Homo-oligomer: A and B are copies of this chain.
Amino acid sequence: MITVLAGGVGAARLLRGMIRAVPAHEVTAIVNTADDLVLHGLSISPDLDTVTYTLAEAVNPETGWGLVGETWQAMDALEQLGGAAWFRLGDRDLGTHLHRTGRLADGAGLTEVTAEITRAFGIDARLLPMTEDRVATMVTLSSDGVPADGATEMEIGFQDYFVGLRHDVAISGVRFDGIDAARPAPGVLDAITSADTVVVAPSNPIVSIGPVVAVPGIGKALADRRDNVVAVSPIVAGSALKGPAERMLRELGHEPTVVGVARLYRDFASTLVVDSADGELVDGVEAEGMRCLVTPTVMTDVGVATDLCRTLLSLDRPVGSPAGRPR
């Protein structure tokens, strides 16, 4: 059994390889929900949906999120009404949000609703939200980004930062509102405890993996399994393949390299997998107390993703296995 801590696009691509490396029903993903939002009354879970659509081979390959062949009638109509259309919801994608919102209103839990959605999409892997409680990532804009109205700082919701401002502003802080009261969703702790290997997907360490680990109980469960926790660095050659991970690390005082990632993960992961481009930083990672494996991690296609997953899962094999030797 393999358990993957997951954010959005990077995690989805890793999981797409994972269900080829091992039988899909042996794979559980614990997915970040701190990006979730209620918009126009609809409950939207961006990371759950990105993983779902990707595993169903239904994702838009251009963006890495949303559905392929999507139409935009509802958004066009909303824009003509002057409504807030900055968060783009495709027509078929809206079907997912309508279903989720309706079922939650019926009293179903997000775990149950997620299972319904993944089943309908023909997905054999198990997707679990990290929690069924509301957690909301809040981003503090640094003083540079704040309007000169006397306020010394301004805190906004994650999607306002990520989508609304296209993460094109400097930030000075991130917090997860509600995290102290959040409980791991049903099945989450067991998925960590009982996994042969826990994989931390190459997602944003601050706002994707960060909230998952911060849910009370999850961080401890991971630390208890540290020897079996393998993380894949989302930073390659000092930059993020997608999204603001590099910039966020830097602005929040972390080193925007695999060494900085190692410092964030070393308490609960024993191995960091870094891309071949970062081979020279292996000593730096090991100095943080983590094993370091160098292998191609840039998932340009599903074949690379599958190979990466096979390599991850062979880490505990005897030295000299074809999967590569941890240094």
| B99 and A75 form a contact (CB under 8 A) | no
Of residues 69 to 100 in A, which have CB atoms within 8 Å of B's CB atoms? 71, 73-84, 89-99
Asked if A39 is an interface residue, CB under 8 A from chain B, the answer is: yes
* Cα separation A103 to B84 with both chains bound (whole Å): 9
Q: Among the listed B43, B81, B89, B99, which residue makes an inter-chain contact with A78, where contact means beta carbons less than 8 Å apart?
A: B99
A97 / chain B contacts, CB cutoff of 8 Å = 40
Asked if A148 is an interface residue, CB under 8 A from chain B, the answer is: no
Asked if A120 is an interface residue, CB under 8 A from chain B, the answer is: yes
Asked if A117 is an interface residue, CB under 8 A from chain B, the answer is: yes
When C-beta atoms are compared, the residue in chain B nearest to A83 turns out to be: B99
A91 / chain B contacts, CB cutoff of 8 Å = 71, 73-74, 77, 91, 94
* Cα separation A102 to B39 with both chains bound (whole Å): 7
Nearest CB on B from A127, distance (A):
14
| B102 and A40 form a contact (CB under 8 A) | yes
* Cα separation A91 to B40 with both chains bound (whole Å): 15
* Cα separation A77 to B75 with both chains bound (whole Å): 16
- Give how many copies assemble into the complex: 2
A38-69 Cβ-contact flags toward B at 8 Å (1 or 0): 11111100000000000000000000000000
Q: Among the listed B43, B74, B120, which residue makes an inter-chain contact with A95, where contact means beta carbons less than 8 Å apart?
A: B74
* Cα separation A290 to B243 with both chains bound (whole Å): 71
Nearest CB on B from A67, distance (A):
8
Nearest CB on B from A42, distance (A):
5
A105/B74 contact (C-beta < 8 A), A81-B120, A95-B81 known: no
Asked if A116 is an interface residue, CB under 8 A from chain B, the answer is: yes
A84 / chain B contacts, CB cutoff of 8 Å = 102
A sample of 11 inter-chain contacts (CB < 8 A) reads A38-B105, A40-B42, A40-B97, A41-B41, A41-B101, A42-B98, A73-B95, A76-B95, A77-B91, A80-B120, A81-B95
Known: A73-B90, A81-B117. 19 other contacts (CB 8 A): A39-B102, A40-B42, A40-B98, A40-B99, A71-B71, A71-B73, A73-B73, A73-B91, A73-B92, A73-B94, A74-B74, A74-B94, A74-B95, A77-B93, A78-B95, A81-B116, A82-B120, A83-B103, A89-B98
